Amino acid sequence: MSEIASLSPSAVWEVFDLVCSVPHPSGHEAALADALIKYAEQRSLHCRKDAAGNLRIDRDAAPGFEDVPRIIFQAHLDMVPVADDESFDFLTQAIEPYIDGDVVRARGTTLGGDDGSGIAIAMALLCDKNLQCGAISAVFTVSEETGLIGAAALEEDMLDGKYLINLDCGPVGRATIGCAGGARQEFVIVPEREKSAAEGNAFKVVLDGLPGGHSGDCIDKNRGNAIKSLAGFLLAQKQLKLCSFNSGNADNAIPHEARAEIIFSGDIEQLKSAATVFSGILNGELQRKSVTIEIIPCERPAMQFSDRFQEELLTALALAPNGAFERDEELGIVKTSSNLAAVFTEAEQLRIRTSQRSLADECREQASAMLAAHFGTFGAVGTVSSSYPGWTPRPDCKLVSVCRNLWEKYAGSALQLEAIHAGLECGMFGRKNPELELISLGPGAPGCHTTKEYVKIDNVKILYGFLQQLVCELK
Ligand SMILES: [Zn+2]
């Protein structure tokens, strides 16, 4: 057990500590699901998994509360694996949470507060013997972060209930009642290659230190894009032959780092000073001090791109439509956006990953078409996948009204309602069970999808106290 298990409410932090101890990046959630099943069965709760690996845990109604409609608490099992040190192995190494003043962070990695805090709160509610309430359930989905895959495949009877409280938002005091839909689009092209030039030396050019962040929440927060910036820098240099270009890992993160292998036949000192000037400009634009471009000697690659392909690729990346395209003024959020997420140079092909989001499904489709037209001009073929619908706000439903009234009594302030520019699983659930009333709450995980992620200890306590009252109030 780590020091966080001693925090209050202990029922929540004990589970959060368990979650941290079991590796659970997207696509590898089975071990965590099994650990939660074991924990739940020791407490006489009923568990079942569906074919996709999603987990549901049920608790019966207290005597006299059998007629109260079932409340489902829902969170996702997976976390986004980002580490400061590339050698960190998310499949075998546990997250190391620690207390830092009034918050919990992880050493050198994402914390997984998104959505470990949701799992922990849901489990604690299921195990809370003092709650005199109707039946409650927890539904934990797999691979939310890689495109709501578990939610899309969730078997409909897993959503048997009247109210669903998603625990993947926040911070406290705010409730989400609608969200953007999204889609991924991957472009594939077979590059023109030739044997690498005899003259010049081989170098790795590494642009690093951009802030990165979530491709929905942070898309309008001036975070820059490492792929576009590195492509722009390379495009402006002479006597440079490009051999590879790579960046990005998680599809839904803004890339904070990009690297290229080059063969360079000019004056290396000049290239280095151009890099210093370029990173200085970027730091100015982004109001940072952290952006660097390093030029490091490396092993000579056997192949380089043809001049034509190099020019076309770098131009396409540097000029790719990216960021927020349109805002919804009423909700005060981004309406439609795209994120250039990753580039991979492989033996036979080059892959470019992007994602598009919008509150309106038809605007998302238009944005996808715009990206397809852009990358299509240099021959790349795009495939749209994992598209999911938005979630239309219903501010007048019973669940939202009860939450608002109770929050006002509990916290002495109004519960803020909002829609967000990020995909939430609620859109999928609303489609599968149209009777379901939905709301999304959470303690919040500022800096999520980066190694700066943290969870505020007080916020967990406040939200947990609220939900303890809500389950008794909601009839
Ligand atoms: Zn999440």
Round to whole Å and give the CA distance between 253 and 210: 12
Asked if the model's pLDDT at residue 428 lies above 80, the reply is yes
Looking at the structure, tell me whether residues 103 and 219 fall in a common domain. no
Looking at the structure, tell me whether residues 377 and 395 fall in a common domain. no
Round to whole Å and give the CA distance between 232 and 419: 34
Spacing, Cα 340 to ligand 1 middle (Å): 20
Question: Which range among 173-182, 255-264, 342-351 shows the weakest confidence by mean pLDDT?
Answer: 173-182
Extended strands (E) in 180-255: 181-189, 193-195, 201-208, 240-247
- Structural domain ending residue among the three candidates 388, 406, 429: 388
Average pLDDT in the 306-328 region?
97
Spacing, Cα 440 to ligand 1 middle (Å): 11
Spacing, Cα 115 to ligand 1 middle (Å): 5
Average pLDDT in the 348-375 region?
95
pLDDT tens for residues 288-303? 999 999 999 999 999 9
Q: For the residues of 57-99, what is the DSSP string, one character each?
A: EEEPPPTT-TTSPPEEEEEES-B---BSSTT--TTTPPP-EEE
| DSSP secondary structure code for residue 168 in this structure | S
Looking at the structure, tell me whether residues 352 and 448 fall in a common domain. no
Q: Give Cβ neighbours of residue 236 (< 8 Å, ≥ 6 apart).
A: 274, 278
pLDDT tens for residues 47-87? 999 999 999 999 999 999 999 999 999 999 999 999 999 89
Spacing, Cα 178 to ligand 1 middle (Å): 15
Given a contact cutoff of 8 angstroms between Cβ atoms, the answer to whether 294 and 276 are in contact is no
Average pLDDT in the 400-404 region?
97
Round to whole Å and give the CA distance between 233 and 31: 43
Given a contact cutoff of 8 angstroms between Cβ atoms, the answer to whether 109 and 84 are in contact is yes
Take residue 202 and report the two structure tokens written for it. Answer: 């081989």
Supply the residues annotated as catalytic. Answer: 78, 144
Average pLDDT in the 345-372 region?
95
Round to whole Å and give the CA distance between 464 and 470: 10
Burial of 274 (0-12, 13-18, 19+ CB in 10 A): middle
Spacing, Cα 367 to ligand 1 middle (Å): 24
Burial of 439 (0-12, 13-18, 19+ CB in 10 A): buried
Looking at the structure, tell me whether residues 452 and 371 fall in a common domain. no
Burial of 403 (0-12, 13-18, 19+ CB in 10 A): buried
Looking at the structure, tell me whether residues 307 and 321 fall in a common domain. yes
- Structural domain ending residue among the three candidates 344, 367, 388: 388
Average pLDDT in the 92-116 region?
97
Radius of gyration for the chain, computed over Cα atoms and rounded to the nearest angstrom: 24
Looking at the structure, tell me whether residues 50 and 143 fall in a common domain. yes
pLDDT of residue 475: 86
Average pLDDT in the 190-213 region?
95
Spacing, Cα 130 to ligand 1 middle (Å): 29
Looking at the structure, tell me whether residues 90 and 114 fall in a common domain. yes
pLDDT tens for residues 136-172? 999 999 999 988 899 999 999 999 999 999 999 889 9
- Tell me how long the chain is: 475
- Structural domain ending residue among the three candidates 388, 416, 438: 388
Looking at the structure, tell me whether residues 224 and 370 fall in a common domain. yes
pLDDT of residue 442: 95
pLDDT of residue 158: 98
Residue 408, classed as helix, strand or coil, is helix
pLDDT tier at 399, thresholds 50, 70, 90 = very high
Looking at the structure, tell me whether residues 322 and 455 fall in a common domain. no
With CA atoms as reference, report the closest residue to 85 among 70, 102, 107: 107
| DSSP secondary structure code for residue 416 in this structure | E
The boundaries of the domain holding residue 361 are 183-388
Asked if the model's pLDDT at residue 207 lies above 90, the reply is yes
Round to whole Å and give the CA distance between 215 and 434: 28
Spacing, Cα 386 to ligand 1 middle (Å): 17
Looking at the structure, tell me whether residues 113 and 159 fall in a common domain. yes
CATH number at residue 88: 3.40.630.10
Looking at the structure, tell me whether residues 314 and 458 fall in a common domain. no
Spacing, Cα 196 to ligand 1 middle (Å): 44
Spacing, Cα 426 to ligand 1 middle (Å): 12
Average pLDDT in the 186-214 region?
95
Count structural domains, the chain.
Answer: 2
Given a contact cutoff of 8 angstroms between Cβ atoms, the answer to whether 76 and 145 are in contact is yes
pLDDT of residue 147: 80
Spacing, Cα 76 to ligand 1 middle (Å): 7
Q: For the residues of 272-299, what is the DSSP string, one character each?
A: HHHHHHHHHHHHHHHT-S--EEEEEE-P
pLDDT tens for residues 211-223? 999 998 899 999 9
Average pLDDT in the 5-14 region?
97
Spacing, Cα 175 to ligand 1 middle (Å): 14
The one-letter amino acid code at 73 reads F
CATH number at residue 308: 3.30.70.260
Crossing angle of helices 226-235 and 307-318, rounded to 10°: 140
β-strands 416-420, 174-179: how paired?
Answer: parallel
Helical spans, DSSP H, in 110-180: 113-127, 149-153
pLDDT of residue 175: 95
Asked if the model's pLDDT at residue 430 lies above 90, the reply is no
Spacing, Cα 435 to ligand 1 middle (Å): 24
pLDDT of residue 422: 83
pLDDT of residue 79: 97
Spacing, Cα 166 to ligand 1 middle (Å): 10
Give percent above pLDDT 70 in the chain: 100
Whether omega before 9 lies within 30 degrees of 0, making that bond cis, reads yes
Handedness of CA 130, 134, 135, 137 (dihedral sign): negative
Average pLDDT in the 259-285 region?
97
465-474: burial string, b at 16+ Cβ within 10 Å, e else = ebbbebbbeb
Average pLDDT in the 392-420 region?
93
Looking at the structure, tell me whether residues 368 and 455 fall in a common domain. no
Give the Å distances, CA to CA, from 18 to 30, 74, 124, 210, 446.
14, 18, 12, 32, 21
Q: What average pLDDT does the structure give for the chain?
A: 95
Whether omega before 84 lies within 30 degrees of 0, making that bond cis, reads no
With CA atoms as reference, report the closest residue to 190 among 405, 352, 21: 352
Handedness of CA 90, 95, 96, 99 (dihedral sign): positive
Spacing, Cα 160 to ligand 1 middle (Å): 22
With CA atoms as reference, report the closest residue to 272 among 208, 225, 203: 203
Spacing, Cα 374 to ligand 1 middle (Å): 30
